[in-house]
Structure 1
Amino acid sequence: MKQILIVLSLCILSVSGTANESTQQTFLTWNRHAELPPVGGQGESLGVAGPYVGVHNDALIIAGGANFPKPYWGENKAWHDDIWVLDNSGNWIEGGKLSRPLGYGASVSTPLGVICIGGNDAAQTYSDAFLLKWNRTTKTLEQESLPALPTTLAYTAAVLLGNKVYVGGGAVTNDLASTKKNFWLLDLGDVQAGWSELPTWPGPERGLNLLVAQHNGKGKQIYLLSGRRVDKSGEIEFLKDSYAYNPRSQTWSRVADSPICFMAGEALPIGDNHILVVGGDEGSLFFKADELKDDHPGFFKQIWGYNALTDTWQKAGEMPQNHVTTQVAKWGEDFIIASGEVRPRVRSPDIWRVAILPPNPDFGTVNWITLLAYLGLLLAVGFVCARQTQSTEDFYVGGRSIPWWAAGISIFGTTLSAITYLALPARVYATSWSAIILNLGILIVAPLIAFVYIPRLRRINAVTAYQFLENRFDLGLRLFGSASFIIFQLFRMGIVVFLPALALSAVTGFNLTVCILMMGLISTVYTAFGGIKAVIWTDVVQVVVLIGGALLALGIVAVNLDGGLSSLVSMGKEAGKFEMPPIEWSWANDSFMVLILGAIFSNALVPYTSDQAVVQRYLTTSSEREAQKAVWTNALLAIPATLIFSIMGIALFVFYKSNPDLLGPLEKYDQILPWFVAHQMPAGFAGFVIAGVFAASMSSLDSSMHSICTAVSNDFVGRFKSDWNDENQMRFARLLVGGLGILGTTIAIIMSTMDTGHIFDFLIGLMGLIASPLAGLFLLGLFAKKPKANHAWIGVICSLIAIVFAKYFTDLNGLLFGLVGIGVCFGVGLFTSLFASRNAQS
């Protein structure tokens, strides 16, 4: 054993240092999409600077702007009023004229149209705001006036966040010496209310600044970057200071300075947390423009990336051409950079279409061998268990002979899905380890489960949890409880396979369909043949692999940190990663009380009392005492596992804050662990950690399949079919598991081909509402003697109404829905029974 540990340590150390080799990555692809037609009656297409640019109804709108006719250095600047529209077929359509030649304002694409804000001409600056709307039916452009700005403004920036337009920075005259500290808001839900003034940033005034919205892990922020101003002595200052505005608290904070000045540039929000700056002027040749004239090399081509979550800058490839003083607009999934200035006085008519380059790492032969060997081991365990599964007693409850420690590990594996495996480190990476509280609710609830719930279940020799509901109330509530569980699990099966597979494929290069098929089909085979024994023993293997993979990943992250664990602690503390939630009486935020109550009711009472996938493990041991030990095993496993995943999240944050060049824009920040595995871990090790993700997903999937089968066979078919012999039951159960496996895998594959995220989130959320009333039913049956079936039904109905109201008509934190559902079901059920009892006595 000692020799094995030495070899493992040497292997980990052999990869240390490689992660710190900074390499510049490329995240974007650039294509010339079109060329802006000539404007202002000019004979050739010269392009414009300062245009209004946006997309509406799948058409690109470019309006106004200014340029210098040829020869560039012998002519005066000309402002234009032309409007051009490029449809999705690549055809240019004349869109009429602006009310006057105008440019150097700001523009924002909104569902209402392209909002154009401020601007100037050769003589003056304006406070105008107006809307450009493309009518795709008539192929015409419509213009509509909007409330004017509080003052004249040019060289400003604007951004849309939600249903609100924010404007910040700019100059009130054509002279940039008149830059202003201004921050205004226009609510598109109440446009006629006009612009409202907001607090300004705690830095100097500026113009030609950038304004972009991005998520910093805690919420959407508005970032004000760079710019230019003239100080009190008349000197031009190229600014690098940057600020973030929190719309919820209406407060500003200073963030990391940009590495260079980006005045008059463009910024793209990429993925969940990144901003890429794809234009601008750092000012190095600003005072030499008249001297260089046509020998000016143009502006820098380096793309700079900012990670709003780690507050770090990185180099992010190069652009083929830097266009300044223009606007960026999103068209579909791509970004449009239209025309603009490429060197002093020279514009370009090029319209660039910029797309995000998907990562394409190679998983590698060694990693595939590691993963396939693990999957082969699961099949072998399944076939061994299949030989020991000869009766329905074996298939459903393992002959009630499963060791307590194996049952406890299986409970832990069942409740820890791959979504949690990926999401908990990601949540800590993005926020803090306050979420650790959520996973500790089982320690509080375990005595109730062990000493009250398990004895009642085993006393009636139950196979499903819902038999207790019939024994205590009536058959209707048993069928309601079982059906609710079945429907919820049917939807959940696809989710627990699809989401981890999506995260893996996005950053590892895995084929999504192959990933889904591997998890789905292998789980189906060993579950169908081996029954609950195969599920539990493969869960044991899978828990070892997933915890081992997490420890391995944590070890490699820690070894590659400059300063090791001390850096992890010091940088984690500085970033607030070890902070606990505030102790406050707020029911909308993740306060301490919300997390505690959520941990007890939503995360512990609901699954450990009403979820057949968990409850079934209580029934597989040889005695009540063994089942109680299984519950305590699971509870005690939750502590180190939660600490491991939480510390891993902190370690990933510290690692990528120290090595920003190694992290690309992630579509979702819960891909952070797969990204690290794919890009930083050596061959073989990466395969083992990915096997851990597979393990977490498959342990949830096999539990769902088997528990649905148990519920259908015992609560529905077996309950009403008295002549059902053991052989027929076994045949039916195995066929049903096979069908469920195919169904769950098919749902996951369908999800992979459609934009169904919001639909499935809604359905899962809706079905999840039923779980807490079920838990309330069990508590009502356990602790109240008077309530009968009719009282319990009233409690369930009132509970459902209360949760729907809380979800859709209040700002109550979703973690408290469990408390609402359980509390209302229990309280109403008990109250109606007492009320009925008094009426009967009177």
Structure 2
Amino acid sequence: MPLVALVCGPALAVESQTKVPVQAKVSWVKAGQLPAPKGFNQSIGIAGAYSAFVGDYLVVAGGANFPKGHPFFDKGVKQYYSDIFVFDTANNQFELVAHGHLPSARGHGATVVVGNSLYLVGGKNNDQAFDSILKLTLDDNSQPVVNAVNQLPFTWDSGAAAWQDDSLFLFAGKHNGVVSNAVCQFSLKQQKCINKDKIAPIPGLARADFPSIKHHKQFYVFGGANVLAGKGRYVLTDAYAFDFEALSWRTLTPITVKDQPYSVAGGGVAVINDEQFILLGGVNRQVFNDAIFQLTTSAQDRLSKFKQYYFSLNEQEVNFSRQQLIYDLNKDNWSTLSKEVPFTGGAGPLAISQKENQIYWISGEIRPVIRTPNVYQATIEPVQ
């Protein structure tokens, strides 16, 4: 499938109170679109998918959307999927080479790369949350092979996970349906959480749907959301780093743009270079804070009017983030590239997957309920 150029151009100019130089340029193209899931003729995109690379193959699995209309205007019901799509991205292509299925429809879990396998951890659908750990591999024909390999001691979704010291670390998310800030070092051999007395929870509030990344034996957590936090506090903008060796947390500079708190909840993160991350997507802090307050506190008539208003907002009014935020690990500060991504912002959460110097922005919401099937690719190039 041909790539359609949407080039951002050199990312040298930086807008921030910190003026952090970014010695790279980030250029975006439209790589293609997700196919329609089994039983459907049209792809409308998904949010909450499992996604990662196995070599040159990008795997996108599960996720959810509203194929039969809007839940407020059309009484549509959210639908989860079991589809697994495998794309060959070698030689700058984006070609669907295999289509398989998970054991059941699900989304909003975590994807962890372990060798040449993916662990798909937890997740949920309309009927249940999952405690399963699924192992996904590709056979000699690039077809996905999925097996259940273990069970967590609780159901878990909407958090983050990483593989370290032959253990699966689970960070925050919903434990048995309740949003948490707990950390579980799950030993697949012992089939339980270990080192409980040594690992502190994530500082601050419990959280879900936050960008996170493992880098140099550290695990970074950025913002997120907690719909029980109270008026004006539903969107979190704090940030932390976990040291796998010391089993301890370090507080980072809160997420800001132009000295103001900034939301990346529902977005993703990738590596720009050894010292910098790029954070992409996320709900608008003011819009989302107000929406959660109205949706959870308004009486019936007022609630209906607010839903009419809120779900009629267009992409510009909902204003999911199009910023390309840069976090500098050594200086512990924030900046933005001079250009935004050249397409509609996303959340939902969207899926961000990375292969070396290529970042893939995979589907996600472009406003509440509404997804896009588009997949975008960014190439990171050092500035000479």
Q: Deviations over 1:760-790 (max 9, x none)?
A: xxxxxxxxxxxxxxxxxxxxxxxxxxxxxxx
Q: Select 1:104's aligned residue among 87, 103, 108.
A: 108
1:330 and 2:354 aligned? yes
Which residue, 296, 300, 310 being the options, matches 2:314?
296
- Contact persistence 1:106–1:158 (CA under 8 A): yes
Amino acid at match of 2:269: A
- Matched to 2:359, the amino acid is F
- How far is 1:202 from its partner? 2.5
Q: Deviations over 1:313-358 (max 9, x none)?
A: 1112411232321322222431222211111111111122222132
Q: Counterpart in 2 of 1:280? A: 282
Matching residue's letter, 1:129: I
Letter of the 2:369 partner, please give it: R
How much identity, in percent, do the aligned residues show?
23
Q: Distance in 1 between matches of 2:285 and 2:242?
A: 26
Any idea what the Cα deviations from partners look like across 1:270-316, whole Å, max 9, x if unmatched?
A: 21121111111133222166514343224121111111111111112
1:155 corresponds in structure 2 to 158
Give the aligned partner of residue 171 of structure 1. 174
Q: Which has the higher helix share?
A: 1
> What is the one-letter code of the residue matched to 1:334?
Q
User: Aligned AA for 2:341?
Assistant: M
In structure 2, runs of 5+ residues without a counterpart are 1-16, 257-261, 292-305
Asked if structure 2 preserves the Cα contact closer than 8 Å seen for 1:127 and 1:151, the reply is yes
User: Residues 345 and 230 (structure 1 numbering): CA distance in 2 closer, same or farther, change over 3 Å?
Assistant: closer
Query: For 1:276 and 1:91, how far apart are their aligned partners in 2?
Result: 26
Aligned to 1:305: 326
- Paired residue total: 331
Distance change (3 Å), C-alpha of 1:205 and 1:41: same
Structure 1 residue 115 corresponds to structure 2 residue 105? no
Query: Match of 1:109, as an amino acid?
Result: V
1:193 to 169, 177, 190: 190
Match for residue 61 of structure 1 among 59, 62, 66: 59
What secondary structure sits across from 1:53 in the alignment?
A: strand
Shift of the 289–157 alpha-carbon distance from structure 1 to 2, 3 Å rule, reads farther
The one of 359, 362, 374 equivalent to 1:350 is 374
Give yes or no for contact 1:226–1:241 (8 Å, CA) kept in 2. Answer: yes
Distance 2:307 2:162 in 1: 31
The equivalent of 1:202 in structure 2 is: 203
Q: Distance in 2 between matches of 1:235 and 1:125?
A: 28
Distance in 2, matches of 1:23 and 1:58, equals 32
Q: Give the Å deviation of 1:185.
A: 3.0
Structure 1 residue 49 and structure 2 residue 47: aligned? Answer: yes
SS in 2 for 1:119: coil
Q: 1:163 to 1:342 in 2, by over 3 A?
A: farther
Matched residue type, 1:76? V
SS of the aligned residue for 2:189 comes to helix
Task: Provide closer, same or farther for how the CA distance between residues 42 and 237 of structure 1 changes in structure 2, counting only shifts above 3 A.
Answer: same
Residue 605 of structure 1 corresponds to which residue in structure 2?
none
Q: Distance in 2 between matches of 1:353 and 1:313?
A: 23
Give SS of 1:291's match.
helix
* In structure 2, distance between residues paired with 1:300 and 1:229: 18
User: Which SS does the other structure have where 2:27 is aligned?
Assistant: strand
* Distance of aligned partners of 1:311 and 1:113 in 2 relative to their CA distance in 1, 3 Å threshold: same
Deviation for aligned residue 1:22: 4.7
Give TM-score, length-normalised by structure 2: 0.78
- Determine if the alignment matches structure 1 residue 76 to structure 2 residue 77: yes
Q: Is the 8 A contact 1:327 1:338 kept in 2?
A: yes
Q: Distance in 2 between matches of 1:70 and 1:290?
A: 18
Aligned equivalent of 1:261: 263
Following superposition, the deviation at residue 232 of structure 1 comes to 6.5
Distance 1:43 1:289 in 2: 29
Cα distance, 1:144 vs structure 2 = 1.8
* Matched residue, 1:138: 141
- Find the aligned partners of 2:231 and 2:19 in 1 and give their Cα distance: 40
Conserved in 1, the CA contact under 8 Å of 2:159 and 2:209? yes
Cα 1:331–1:290 shift into 2, 3 Å: farther
Is residue 65–residue 102 contact of structure 1 (8 Å, CA) maintained in 2?
Answer: yes
Query: 1:234 Cα shift?
Result: 8.2
Q: Which residue of 2 aligns with 1:341?
A: 365
Q: Give matches, 1:512-523, under 5 Å.
A: none
Q: Name the SS of the counterpart of 2:173 in structure 1.
A: coil
Answer yes or no: is 1:37 the counterpart of 2:35.
Answer: yes
CA distance in structure 1 between the partners assigned to 2:375 and 2:325 by the alignment: 21
Q: Distance in 1 between matches of 2:240 and 2:367?
A: 28
Mapped to 1, the partners of 2:155 and 2:231 lie a distance apart of 22
SS in 2 for 1:181: strand
Is 1:319 the counterpart of 2:341? The answer is yes
1:245 equivalent in alignment to 2:239: no
Query: In 2 relative to 1, CA 148–327 (structure 1 residues): closer, same or farther, beyond 3 Å?
Result: farther
| Aligned residue type for 1:206 | R
Choose between structure 1 and 2 for higher RCO, CA contacts under 8 A separated by at least 6 residues: 2
Structure 1 CA distance for aligned equivalents of residues 176 and 313 of structure 2: 31
1:703-782 equivalence runs, <5 A:
none
| Paired residues for 1:412-431 under 5 Å | none
* TM-score for the superposition, normalised by structure 1: 0.37
CA distance in 2: counterparts of 1:79 and 1:157, whole angstroms: 20
Deviation at 1:102, TM superposition (A): 0.3
Report SS of the residue matched to 2:270: strand
Q: Distance in 1 between matches of 2:32 and 2:113?
A: 20
* Aligned amino acid, residue 142 of structure 1: V
Aligned partner letter, 1:102: R
Corresponding residue of 1:129: 133
CA 1:335–1:110: 2 relative to 1, 3 Å:
farther
The CA distance in 2 between the partners of 1:24 and 1:311, in whole Å, is: 13
- SS of 1:193's equivalent in the other structure is coil
Q: Secondary structure at the match of 1:257?
A: coil
Query: Any idea what the Cα deviations from partners look like across 1:677-725, whole Å, max 9, x if unmatched?
Result: xxxxxxxxxxxxxxxxxxxxxxxxxxxxxxxxxxxxxxxxxxxxxxxxx
Q: Deviations over 1:423-468 (max 9, x none)?
A: xxxxxxxxxxxxxxxxxxxxxxxxxxxxxxxxxxxxxxxxxxxxxx
Counterpart CA distance in 2 for 1:334 and 1:341 is: 21
Deviation at 1:228, TM superposition (A): 1.1
Instruction: Give the direction of change, closer, same or farther, for the CA distance of 1:282–1:164 in structure 2 (3 Å limit).
Output: farther
Cα distance in structure 1, aligned partners of 2:46 and 2:81: 9
Q: Which letter maps to 1:85?
A: V
Cα RMSD, aligned residues only: 2.7
Report how far residue 79 of structure 1 moved. 0.9
Work out the CA distance in 1 between the residues paired with 2:134 and 2:106: 12
Q: Sort the Cα spacing of 1:299 and 1:213 in 2 relative to 1 into closer, same or farther, 3 A.
A: same
State how far apart, in whole Å, the 2-side matches of 1:34 and 1:202 are.
39
Deviation at 1:226, TM superposition (A): 0.3
Q: What amino acid maps onto 1:133 in structure 2?
A: T
> Structure 1 residues 146, 234: closer, same or farther in 2, change over 3 A?
farther
CA distance in 1, matches of 2:161, 2:63: 17
Q: 1:338, 1:166 → 2: CA distance?
A: 24
Secondary structure of 2:285's partner? coil
Shift of 1:230: 3.5
Residue 155 of structure 1 and its aligned partner are, at CA, apart by 1.1
- The structure richer in strand per residue is 2
Q: Is the 8 A contact 1:109 1:329 kept in 2?
A: no
Helix, strand or coil: the match of 1:129? strand
Which amino acid letter does the alignment assign opposite residue 287 of structure 2?
L
Q: Please identify the structure whose Cα radius of gyration is greater.
A: 1
CA distance in 2, matches of 1:327, 1:172: 21
CA contact (8 A) 2:18 2:333 kept: no
